[in-house]
Each structure stands twice: as C-alpha cells, then as structure tokens.
A and B are shown apart, each in its own frame.
Chain A
Amino acid sequence: MSEAREAILGSIRTALKRGPLSQPERQQLESQIATPPHHTRPHFGDDLARRFAAKLESRAATVVAVSRMADASGAVVDYLDRLGLPKAVAAAPALENLEWPQGLAVRFGRAETSDQVSVTPCFAGVAETGSLVLLSGPSSPTTLNFVPENHVVIVRAARIVRHFEDAWDLLRKEAGGIPRTVNVISGPSRTADVEQTIQLGAHGPRRLHVVVVNG
C-alpha cells in the first residue's frame, strides 16, 4: 500500500513540478490551519434565537421555547401528548440529571429499533441556517439522532451561535479535539428522489422537535 501512497504523492509532485515541501513551507501551512483565514459569512440581523427557530420551522421542524432547564422535560411530555405517543423515550445519558416527570418511562443509552422517541442535548445551535450541532460521546449516542421516528433536541438559547465557524470555534475550545461524529441536523429526514416530490421521513426521523431553553 505504501507503494501506491508514494506513487500518488510522487505523481502529484511531478504535476506540481516540485519536490516535497520544505520544513518552513510546511510550517507556514500548519500555522494557516491553526488560524484559519476569515472567509465571507452571510450577513443577517442580531436576533439569533428568532432566526434559528424560523429557519428550522421553514424545514418542517417544530420549535418551542421554555424558560428553565427544569421545564424541558415537561415540554417533551407535551410533545408526546400532542402526537398521542406512548409515554416512553430513549434519552441521551447526558440528560440523566434532568428532572423527569413521573409517568414518563425514560431509558438512557443508545437507540433500539423499538424506540419511537429520542431526546438528546445539543452542543450548539447555528442561527445562520437553523441547524443543530450534536456531538457523539459516551453520554450522547449517535443512534438516537437517526433511529427513532421522533427526535426531540434540547438546546440552550445561550448556545445559539451566529455562523458555523462560531460553532467550530466552540468545538476547538471546549470539546478538546473533534469527537468521532459531529452531526449537523437542520430538520427532519427528507427525500425528493421520486419525481422531485418532497417526502419527510426517508430514513431518519420523520419529525424533529426542538426545545429551546431560555434560562
């Protein structure tokens, strides 16, 4: 395999009419990676939370706001009631400390095929497109984001950033390196592969419900 590797790198260098880059040149490129040049970002107004919600809704997600973290689980129950779903959810272990109401069966861990509803936290929200940034980890299984038909995401309003680049900055600062999976989710699953007709729930969740916690 290393033979192929050398062949490809060699062929690239032949095409570029040069040998391997010198140490200072590599250093220069490394420092560009460490401090990425600032690219153009879309301009928009300052009400990030509002834009975040409006964008999500424009892609058929539903959004509610609650004032404290303690109310988030109540919002989950409301959601189940509204859709007439059984009072059982699979939740990310990261939410174990949330006060969960009586009468709601909560199982913490990865998703199983029988799960109808999942509840997960989220690392950040992005106002630019109304997107959720979720990280994989021991307390936040990725399967919860894709297997159940209903995905409820709890996001703190304070974690809604303006652009994607801001979310990456948080990631670099707080998460201590990139996790195995970063899921950027901007609505329920959809397809337009049959005659360009949009149909929700192609493979992933049919419904995405976002609970914004203001406090």
Chain B
Amino acid sequence: MTSPVPAGPRIGLFATCLMDSFRPSVGFAAVKLLEDAGCTVEVPAAQTCCGQPALNSGDFATTRRLAKQVIETFAGFDYVVGPSGSCMATIKNDYPQLFADDPQWREKAEDLSRRSFELLSFLTDVLKVDRVKARFEGTVTYHDSCSGLRELGVKAQPRKLLATVEGLKLSEMQDAETCCGFGGTFCVKYPDISEKMASDKVANIEASGAGTLLGGDLGCLMNIAGRMKRLGKPVRVFHAAEVLAGMADGPGLAEPEVR
C-alpha cells in the first residue's frame, strides 16, 4: 500500500483449491466485486494450490515447489487477490520465510508478498471500497477465520462492507475469534477434537440467533456447515463475498440444489 494503486488494476485471481472444487460461486462473486471496483480480473490456468497442506505437514520441499509455481504464475499482475485469509497468509507471510536461504527466490517471494491480498481487506484497504450494492434479508453472524484475523488483520473490513448490504443485520456471536476446528489436515487427523471444537462453534452460532453464518474462508465454512448439518441445524452458510456481490440467492454450503 506504499505504492499508489494504478487505475484499473490488473488482478490475478487466486482461485483457492477448495473454492475451485467445491464452491465456484465464491470465485464469481469475487470477480464481480473486483470488477465493480474497476479492476480487470484474470484467472491463470496454471495455478493449483498455495501449498499449505504440504507446509503444515512439515513437507517444506513440496511447499517450495508449489510456491515457485505460484510465484511464476502470478508474475506481472498488479495484485494477486484470493477469497481466503488462510491461502493469502501463506503466500504473503510464509513464502518469503520458505526461501530464507535462497536470495533469488526470496526476492521474488517478497515481491509477490507485497502484491498479494485477501479479497475483503483488499476491497476496503487498497481499493477503498466503502459500500456495495447488494441486498440480503436476514440476520447474519460472522466467524473470524484464524489466519485472516491473526496473520492479516482481517476483522473490521468484512463487517464494514456487510453493514452496507440492504436488509442485512449482523448479530455477533460469542467467541467469534475462536478456531472452529478446521485447521486444514488437522480436522481429518484429529476428527474427535475437531468435532468438539466445531460443536462449540455451532452452539455459539445458534445462540447468536442469526439465520445465516458468514465467513471469509471456505475451509472453516465447510467444516462448520458440515457439523451444523450433521446436528440438524437450519442455519445457512455462505462466503461473505457471495452476500456482498448479491449472489447469495442460490443454495448455501451443504444445501441441496433446488430449495
């Protein structure tokens, strides 16, 4: 944010692996929000995943291989933006560290780091978007995903934009900042502990009285939605970008196609 924002910046959309496979609608919502703000958006085909599963499994060699792929794929874009705090924190914070002993790649990683942003904070902090044109009837509550919150400082930005959605009311839950138990591979390596954490989260969501849960990270949202459905709770789940883009009229996560 030190350098001025070019007019009509060219954005490389980081299509996170979960979004790509499970919820393309979040990608289209992201594109709409960025284009509405005057950006040109491209989706490089050579991208797969940021490498976080390998990173968090301690396989730094594989992570470096994938990081190099991401660095090369997104060279040349003014900004790289993704609808996930977790993936973008990996790119922004972990990539440079991974190449601590490799000056050439370290420099490239730092360059990418400077250009990389999580979608919602990018809209408010860089593009200075302060309102959206969207409507959503109902009370929502917001789960702060850990990486976005603690590594990128995403907290006020989504709330600020959501406040401008017509018809939407925000009801904060207790412990919104407490981890939902997803944790990438954690949730399948330690399913019992993860389930307990997700249950606590679901209880807090229910207690908030909101009919819809929003968040900025699909991993967490899939985990919570999955637990919520298993417990038979009616609360709906969307990525915040879908609501902000006015595209939350289809099925929410884990909902059947025809409602």
The reply, when asked whether chain A contacts chain B directly with Cβ atoms under 8 A, is no
